[in-house]
C-alpha cells in the first residue's frame, strides 16, 4: 500500500508540473472563458466474442454550457487480440460553427477515418492505457476549399480505482491523461491535451466522468520579410462531462473506462 501511495504521489506531482508548464506556455488570460465538452457514448465490449465497437455524440461550447459551436458524431469497430491489446477502425463527422451566428451553417466540416492500437497495463491498482492512432482527414470549408491532412496521436491514460482494486460495479476512480498530436507535414507538434478527472462506475452498464481538460494548439515559428515570429501556443480549459452506456456481454473482464475521443 505504501508503494502504491508513493507511486501515485510521484505521478500526480509530475502531472501537476506538466500542467503548470503547459499553462505557462499558452496565451490563456483571465478573459478566456471556461468551455465545456459534453460526451455521450455507447460501447460494446469485445468480451469472449472479441469483436466490439462504439458510437459517440459530442458537443462543445465556447463558454460554460453556453455558446455552442462544435459537434462530433463518430463510431467504430474494435477487435480484442487479448486483454491487453485491441485494434480499432473508426470514422466520424466533425462540424465547427460560429457560435454568434449558428443559422449560417458550419464554418467547416470534416470527415475522418482512423486506425488505432491500444495497449493496456495492469499494475496492481494502477492501470495504464497506451493509445496509438493514425488519422486521415478530409475538410470542406465554407469557401469551397477541400484540403486533406494526416495526423498521428499518442495518449497515455492512467486510472486509479479508489474504493476497489479493480474498476467494477460501484467503483470510484481517478483518470489522468496526456495526449500529443503530430502532423507529419508540419508543424510537427500540433496539439497537446492534458486531462484530470473523477469517475464512477455504477454497474456493468453506466459510467459517468467529470473532469477538466486543457487543450493547447501550437503554431510554428515563422520568418517573413526579415521578421521572426516565435512559436505561438494558444490554450483553453474546458469542463468535460462524459456519460457512457456499456452493452452487456456474457463474459466481461475488467474494462478500462477510457473515453474514445
pLDDT digits (tens, 9 = 90+) for 186-200: 768 899 999 999 999
CB–CB of 189/178 below 8 Å?
A: no
Task: Give 30's pLDDT tier (boundaries 50, 70, 90).
Answer: very low
Pick the CATH number of 35-246 from 2.40.160, 1.10.10, 2.60.40, 2.40.128: 2.40.160
Domain boundaries, the chain: 35-246
Residue 150: pLDDT above 60? yes
More confident: 179 or 1: 179
For 39, the grid coordinates are: 460526451
87 DSSP β-pair partners: 79, 117
150 DSSP β-pair partners: 136
Torsion angle defined by CA atoms of residues 244, 249, 253 and 254, in that order, rounded to the nearest 10 degrees? 10
More confident: 234 or 195: 195
Task: Give 47's pLDDT tier (boundaries 50, 70, 90).
Answer: confident
Range name among 24-33, 76-85, 88-97, 199-208 with the lowest pLDDT average: 24-33
Mean pLDDT throughout 223-230? 48
pLDDT of residue 224: 55
pLDDT of residue 211: 98
Mean pLDDT throughout 164-173? 95
pLDDT of residue 63: 96
CA distance 67 to 235: 18
Mean pLDDT throughout 72-87? 95
Per-residue CA distances from 108 to 45, 62, 69, 151, 175 (Å): 33, 16, 11, 18, 32
At CA 235, angle to CA 233 and CA 241, rounded to 5? 155
Amino acid at each position: 500500500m505504501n508503494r502504491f501511495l508513493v507511486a501515485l504521489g510521484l505521478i500526480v506531482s509530475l502531472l501537476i508540473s506538466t500542467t503548470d508548464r503547459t499553462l505557462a506556455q499558452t496565451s490563456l488570460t483571465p478573459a478566456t472563458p471556461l468551455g465545456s465538452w459534453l460526451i455521450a457514448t455507447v460501447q460494446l465490449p469485445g468480451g469472449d466474442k472479441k469483436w466490439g465497437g462504439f458510437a459517440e455524440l459530442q458537443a462543445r461550447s465556447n463558454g460554460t454550457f453556453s455558446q455552442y459551436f462544435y459537434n462530433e458524431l463518430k463510431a467504430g469497430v474494435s477487435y480484442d487480440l487479448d486483454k491487453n491489446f485491441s485494434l480499432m477502425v473508426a470514422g466520424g463527422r466533425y462540424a465547427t460553427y460560429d457560435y454568434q451566428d449558428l443559422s449560417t451553417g458550419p464554418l467547416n466540416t470534416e470527415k475522418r477515418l482512423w486506425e488505432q492500437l491500444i495497449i493496456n497495463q495492469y499494475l496492481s491498482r494502477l492501470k495504464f492505457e497506451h493509445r496509438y492512432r493514425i488519422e486521415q482527414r478530409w475538410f470542406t470549408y465554407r469557401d469551397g476549399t477541400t484540403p486533406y491532412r494526416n495526423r498521428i496521436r499518442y495518449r497515455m491514460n492512467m486510472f486509479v480505482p479508489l474504493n476497489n482494486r479493480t474498476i467494477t460495479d460501484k467503483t470510484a476512480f481517478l483518470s489522468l491523461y496526456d495526449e500529443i498530436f503530430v502532423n507529419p507535414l508540419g508543424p510537427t507538434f500540433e496539439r497537446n491535451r492534458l486531462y484530470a478527472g473523477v469517475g464512477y462506475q455504477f454497474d456493468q452498464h453506466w459510467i459517468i466522468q467529470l473532469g477538466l481538460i486543457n487543450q493547447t494548439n501550437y503554431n510554428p515559428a515563422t520568418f517573413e520579410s526579415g521578421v521572426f515570429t516565435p512559436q505561438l501556443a494558444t490554450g483553453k480549459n474546458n469542463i468535460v462531462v462524459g456519460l457512457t452506456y456499456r452493452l452487456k456481454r456474457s463474459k466481461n473482464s475488467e474494462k478500462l473506462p477510457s473515453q474514445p475521443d
